[in-house]
């Protein structure tokens, strides 16, 4: 299987105060992952050089996450707050480059959290214009900037693939890319396969998360079917695996994401389970079946007719 798959860093630690160990990273790399999605961090307070060495030693490439906060929000009508929001995004692009990454994920278009009212057109345009400028800056530094489409309980800005395409066009950037997540699609989309097709021109990251935020093999979302369908429809971008468990992430993050239970306790086992589920979808796809036929043909030397 030749898919470029990332695993969220929160899957790998044993608790909110546990360090990320080289052993955990090696286990994930050995399971077939190529990248690791980082938790949000303050680049000014982070030893980026040491962090980069940790990932380099494991053979994994990091994908940081960009976001906004009150007082630094690109959708704000206040010019100073908007500039502070842009500055935070530019800083995360620079941090991504310092870490040796080539992709920046996240929710860069506004403050993440339960919205209390719809987003008006002016706020959406302000947000898109700022994010588009940062996406162009990222592209100049060899970095693809994506924005995640999340559900109605986490933002009012962008909830569907169709809205994501509109937002990307509004940004004015040819380089801004879309990040879809099966967990959020299960809430917002009437047809996940159609949503993937709709976003395909700008889709760069397709994340796999189950309905209960736990193992990909257990839940209401047909992950193998989604993988198969996306590959059959021509998706060639990167993939991600995301899961959350109450005891493994900081309490304030668990509260913000409404993670009240323990869907899993062994992050390494979850990462390995996810890879098996993804492989099942790949094997059923036209891409996977073709690769398997070629592999069998290459190994079946007895069927080759050689010239006399």
Within a 13 Å sphere around the CA of 259, how many CA atoms are in the beta-carbon half?
Answer: 20
Other residues' Cβ atoms within 10 Å of the Cβ of residue 225: 14
> Residue 308 class from Cβ within 10 Å (0-12 exposed, 13-18 middle, 19+ buried)?
exposed
Q: Is 272 a catalytic residue?
A: no
Max CA pair span of the chain? 81
SS3 for 227-262 is HHHHHHCCCCCEEEECCCCCCCCCHHHHHHCCCCCC
**Sign of the alpha-carbon dihedral angle for 240, 245, 248, 249:** positive
Active-site residue, selected from the candidate residues 81, 154, 207, 242: 242
Q: What distance in Å separates the CA atoms of residue 171 and residue 126, rounded to the nearest whole number?
A: 9
Cα separation, 111 vs 49, whole angstroms: 29
148 is catalytic: yes
Tokens coding 30: 């050995």
Of 81, 86, 148, 207, catalytic? 148
CB count within 10 Å of CB 108 equals 27
**Mind telling me the catalytic residues?**
148, 242
């Amino acid at each position: 299987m030749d898919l470029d798959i990332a695993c969220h860093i929160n899957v790998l630690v044993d608790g909110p105060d546990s360090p990320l160990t080289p052993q955990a990273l090696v286990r994930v790399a050995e399971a077939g992952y190529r990248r690791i999605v980082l938790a949000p961090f303050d680049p000014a307070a982070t030893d980026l050089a040491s962090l980069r060495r940790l990932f380099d030693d494991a053979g994994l490439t990091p994908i940081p996450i960009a976001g906004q906060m009150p007082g630094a929000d690109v959708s704000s009508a206040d010019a100073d707050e908007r500039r502070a929001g842009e500055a935070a995004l530019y800083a995360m692009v620079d941090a991504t480059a310092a870490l040796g990454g080539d992709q920046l994920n996240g929710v860069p278009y506004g403050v993440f959290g339960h919205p209390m009212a719809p987003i008006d057109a002016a706020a959406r345009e302000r947000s898109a214009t700022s994010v588009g400028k940062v996406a162009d800056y990222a592209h100049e530094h060899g970095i693809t900037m994506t924005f995640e489409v999340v559900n109605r309980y986490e933002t009012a800005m962008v909830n569907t693939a169709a809205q994501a395409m509109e937002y990307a066009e509004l940004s004015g950037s040819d380089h801004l890319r879309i990040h879809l997540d099966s967990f959020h699609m299960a809430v917002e989309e009437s047809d996940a396969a159609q949503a993937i097709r709709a976003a395909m021109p700008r889709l760069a990251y397709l994340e796999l998360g189950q309905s209960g935020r736990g193992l990909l093999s257990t839940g209401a979302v047909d992950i193998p079917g989604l993988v198969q369908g996306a590959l059959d429809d021509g998706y060639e971008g990167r993939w991600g695996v995301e899961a959350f468990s109450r005891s493994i992430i900081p309490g304030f993050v668990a509260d913000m994401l409404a993670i009240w239970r323990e869907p899993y306790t062994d992050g390494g086992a979850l990462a390995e389970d996810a890879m098996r589920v993804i492989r099942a979808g790949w094997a059923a796809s036209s891409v996977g079946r073709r690769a398997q036929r070629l592999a069998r043909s290459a190994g079946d030397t007895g069927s080759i007719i050689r010239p006399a």
